[in-house]
Amino acid sequence: MFDALSEKLQATLTDLRSRGTLTGEDVDRAMREIRLALLEADVNFKVVKAFTKTVKERCLGADVVGGLNPGQQVVKIVDEELASLMGGEAAGIAFASRPPTVVLLAGLQGSGKTTAAAKLARHLREEHGSSVALAACDVYRPAAVEQLVTMGERAGADVYERGTDEDPVKIAAWALDEAKRQGKDVLIVDTAGRLHVDADLMDELVRIRKATRPTQVLLVVDAMTGQDAVNVAEQFAQAVQFDGVVMTKLDGDARGGAALSVKAVTGKPILFASTGERIEQFERFHPDRMAQRILGMGDVLSLIEKTQKAYDEDEARDLERKLRRNEFTLEDFLAQLAQVRRMGPLQSLLGMMPGLAGHQLKNMKVDERELDRVEAIIRSMTPDERRRPELIKGSRRLRIARGSGTSVQQVGQLIKQFDQMRKLMRQIGRGKMPDIGALMRQAR
Ligand SMILES: Nc1nc2c(ncn2[C@@H]2O[C@H](COP(=O)(O)OP(=O)(O)OP(=O)(O)O)[C@@H](O)[C@H]2O)c(=O)[nH]1
Ligand SMILES: [Mg+2]
């Protein structure tokens, strides 16, 4: 389903990779192309905007990692950002500490709830060895119960049903008792769909939730409906809390926008992907694998990973040797600091986090200035001073403070902290556990 998007992204990135160096203009053009490709794939425009902004910032701020050309670097950044857009790590189901784990499925009519209920039951049985029961709480469509019974059989799960004459909330409560009585590990509750997110649907869901206290509420979303799917998810998120998304019909010819936007818009990750009508066409959703599939550059990405690993190992070995010989200097410290900062401005990372809208965390100030200060102080030292800061005396401290726009106290503090750090490292380097207590007392 990501074919068109894949093709466009690959064309853009292949072009970048063939260049030795990248100008700001190259990056700008690539970002324009990526933005268009995502919009055409029906990704939510706000999501596209934030995505290209982050990627661009990271591209421009990136120090070149040894062995990677700038184009490869961009591929890596786009890959990482695509994965993080879809939720980063794969999450899977959260089990209750005391069984049964109750999973409540919600969603619009025809989104694939009943199918997903059976598929999830089979998945949990096969992957986790769970004994699973299904609760038939859709009493509005005569064939709904029958459908669940048939699918439950195929999934190897018991189906708890009371026909269509009883109140779905009562059926849900009874099914939970039944699951407890029979010692089931998991109870999956199938509910009725509606054409739109309406008050009735929400009210019933809330009452079923109250009656069953589900461990997880999963929203079933039809990927084929594109932007609509995301709008529905957003409306659900406002009305009923849910914990994750089951994205269905990913085998269809939709352009993929829903899968790419839903996490950023609702803050909830896609946990499972359904990719066909057959019961085994269902799997845990892995954002990183999906990103790689979209980019279709598995070979390049693994090369990048290897190069980076070799480079990191090189650096680590170098650092270790320096520590052992007590050669770690402020110069090295500066390089380490740059590495941390290569990850991008901390502030914008926080700002990007979905679900933080209006949250106070979002307004939290990351003290980049503190890092700036440390950097400025070190840069105001001579190479000799960076190697042996303990030799920096009063008049030099004053000059460094002036040069870096800080105070003599701040310079003194950095030198002292560095000295403590070096002592600590030397002890670790000698294989001794450092006496943290003593160090803390000295540092005061
Ligand atoms: N191609 C494809 N079809 C699917 C997938 N999941 C479900 N379907 C089909 O979509 C249709 C609706 O699925 P259901 O599971 O009945 O959907 P529902 O949400 O329970 O529908 P209601 O109970 O009417 O609200 C069925 O024909 C399914 O076979 C999928 O991943 N891929
Ligand atoms: Mg159904």
Residue found under tokens 């902004």: 53
pLDDT band at 352 (very low <50, low <70, confident <90, very high): very low
**More confident: 198 or 224:** 224
Is beta strand 132-137 parallel, antiparallel or unpaired with respect to 158-160? parallel
Q: Give the ligand 1 atom nearest the CA of 144.
A: 23
Q: In which domain, by residue range, is 233 found?
A: 101-285
* The domain boundary residue, chosen from 285, 308, 335: 285
What single string gives the DSSP state of each residue in 338-388?
Answer: HHHHTT--HHHHHHH-TT-TT-GGGGPPP-HHHHHHHHHHHHTS-HHHHH-
Which strand ranges, in their side-by-side order, compose the sheet holding 244-248?
158-160, 132-137, 186-191, 101-107, 216-222, 244-248, 270-274, 282-284
Per residue, the 3-state secondary structure of 130-146, as one string, reads CCEEEEEECCCCHHHHH
Taking all residues of the chain, what is their mean pLDDT, rounded to a whole number?
82
- Does any ligand 1 atom lie closer than 6 A to the CB of residue 185? no
Q: Is residue 230 located within the same domain as residue 332?
A: no
Decide whether any atom of ligand 1 lies within 6 Å of the 260 Cβ: no
Tally of domains within the chain: 3
Percent of the chain clearing pLDDT 90 (strictly above) = 39
From 285, 318, 342, the end of a domain falls on 285
- What does the pLDDT look like over 174-185, one tens digit per residue? 999 999 999 999
For position 365, what pLDDT does the model report?
Answer: 52
> Does the Cβ of 227 fall within 6 Å of ligand 1?
no
Q: Which atom of ligand 1 is nearest to the CA of 115?
A: 15
Average pLDDT over residues 411-426: 80
pLDDT > 50? residue 433? no
Ligand nearest to the CA of 222: 1
Examine the fold and report which residue of 252, 285, 318 is the final residue of a domain before the chain moves on.
285
Which residues, chain by chain, have CB under 5 Å from ion ligand 2?
113-114
Residues 133 and 213 in one domain: yes
In contact, 173 and 166? CB cutoff 8 Å = no
Q: 112 lies in a domain?
A: yes
Q: State which ligand 1 atom lies nearest to the alpha carbon of 116.
A: 15
CATH classification at residue 56: 1.20.120.140
User: Does ligand 1 lie within 6 Å of residue 150's CB atom?
Assistant: no
Whether residue 241 is contained in a domain is answered as yes
Residue 226 pLDDT more than 70? yes
